[in-house]
Chains A and B, each alone.
Chain A
Amino acid sequence: MCVDHDKLSDNYDVIIIGSGLGGLTTANRLAYCGHRVLLLEFHHQLGGLATWFKRRGHIFDISLHGFPYGMVKTCKKYWNREIMQSIVQLKNIVFDNPQFSLRTTFTREDFTSILRNYFKIPQTTLDRFFTTVAGMNFYDDQSMTTRELFDQFFPGRTDVHRLLMEPITYANGSTLDDPAITYGIVFSNFMNKGVYTFEGGTDKLIRMMTDELTKSGVTICTNAKVDRIIVEDKKVRGIVTRGKTISARAVVSNSGITNTIYDLVGREGFSDDFLEKADAIRVNNSSCQVYFGIKKDSVIKDAGDLLFTSASPRFDSEELLDLHTRSKTFSIYYPKTRPGHDRHTIVASMNSRFDDWSLMDEATYKEQKKRLIDRTLIDLERYFPGVREKIDWMEAATPKTFKRYTLHTLGTSFGTKFEGLDVSRSLYKEIAGLFHVGSVGIIMSGWLGAINYGVIVANDADGFLRSATAQ
């Protein structure tokens, strides 16, 4: 399956750096198009942030929280039918905060009914709102912010703003000040048919994808950090990994866009105009997570699949990012998540700033991690009274953890703000044969965004590889 580093060839048609869902998908598509593909991953496990870890018989998923229905078609077309068939709906999405407590399937039908009956919003306003967001495209005018969009349809209704924004903030790190189109595109994707998950867990998905890549003839090498991308005369020539030079006509970087520009190529490879745009990229926030494993024969009641909880009186993007935030999501994994494994695990996720954690000395860092776990456990007990006695594993991850495993600039867990998309899309205009795939621009984030962007970039790279300049 994975090839030893010293057995790699000196030349491939195309090299993919990084195996997040975008990199994996680009690799699979380019192999399908008939190219000789090498996929390099610095970690020992494929998947990027679509990852998991095992402790004492527990398997903890990092980013399997729920994706839109579009994943069904995307997995069928770009992976295989078996992967598609493992996608199942999460029907119980819970909101609990000082402004409202409710349960929803997170579909347009159910949301409309809640907004009409519970929040007393007129049907005509709802119809206009849903039509407006559903009609948004990434190339539309970006001057309107999500805050302005909400104020236009639901003026003064901070409760409605919270219902609409909170889940999306956790899904992609966006705020009320980001372009309304990024909100509209992502929200509409979810509203289509609700929230879905992968039965069998992230480990099963990545195993199935790895099998498919092997079948497609992709050469995979893990523990293979790429030191740099070789560029000559504004053309990509290959890469250097752990001292070994490998040439290729095209390179697709699934490293972060900022990592790709500054670390893998270096500023000297780009024009001043391009660097000006690249320097303006704001990376998104990072995350904290707390993982709870429930003892083997203990059971917890079904309190919902995904819980958006907050003790903060109002929705506030800054409050969500604070070290001591009182807002968090709980993803509850019942035995149905991994049939046969029969364990319960809980993952709490919070949005977080890298610098709040990276600047701490070691003792403070350890102490703050412990306090994070304590605070989260207290919140968890509100939904699962007595759960403390059933837990046999607790662990926390901080932005530093995210940085260590992904190498992303500032440990970003949601890529970049909107401007990152244009830089990612125009990389090949600066350096022929160099492409980027990964979470950028908010809309190309999340599992569905990452996979679809992988397909889009595979099309660009295939077009290049078959063009005269690449020969």
Chain B
Amino acid sequence: MTRNDIKELIMEIIADIDEDADFDSLKPDQPLRDQLDLDSMDFLDIVMELRKRHKLQIPEEDYPQLASLDSCVNYLEPLLKDA
């Protein structure tokens, strides 16, 4: 997966969680939580969805890596390079 594919994937998962999520004004380097009104349960949904779709096991201590769109891409890029 390219960096852009990963970005699309994350936004697709978030759109499933919150259909009203506004991605147009999303700043990729800022925390998703503040911009999209996501709570800790929503981040758990992202983790479960990544496991379901790509068999990715993200340990709890790595959850902070999913904070912003950019940090998601940085963290997932090596893990999804063959996906």
Contacts and interface: CB of A to CB of B under 8 A. Distances in A.
A33 B44 contact: no
State the main secondary structure of chain A at its contact with B.
Answer: helix
Nearest to B45: A77
Contacts of B48: 29, 33, 458-459, 462
Given A459-B47, A466-B57, A34 B52 contact: yes
A435 B66 CA distance: 25
Contacts of B45: 77, 455
B45 to A, nearest CB: 7
A452 B17 CA distance: 15
Contacts of B41: 74, 77, 452, 455-456
Contacts, number: 28
State the main secondary structure of chain B at its contact with A.
Answer: helix
Interface in A412-471: 452, 455-456, 458-459, 462-463, 466-467
Nearest to B17: A77
A455 B47 CA distance: 12
A193 to B, nearest CB: 14
Contacts of A462: 48, 51-52
Interface string B21-53: 000000000000000000001001101100110
B53 to A, nearest CB: 11
Nearest to B37: A73
Interface string A20-40: 000000000100011000000
A192 to B, nearest CB: 11
A463 B58 CA distance: 9
B44 A463 contact: no
A456 to B, nearest CB: 6
Interface of B: 17, 41, 44-45, 47-48, 51-52, 55, 57
20 contacts: A33-B51, A33-B52, A77-B41, A77-B45, A452-B41, A455-B41, A455-B44, A455-B45, A456-B44, A458-B48, A459-B47, A459-B48, A462-B48, A462-B51, A462-B52, A463-B57, A466-B51, A466-B55, A466-B57, A467-B57
Interface of A: 29, 33-34, 74, 77, 452, 455-456, 458-459, 462-463, 466-467
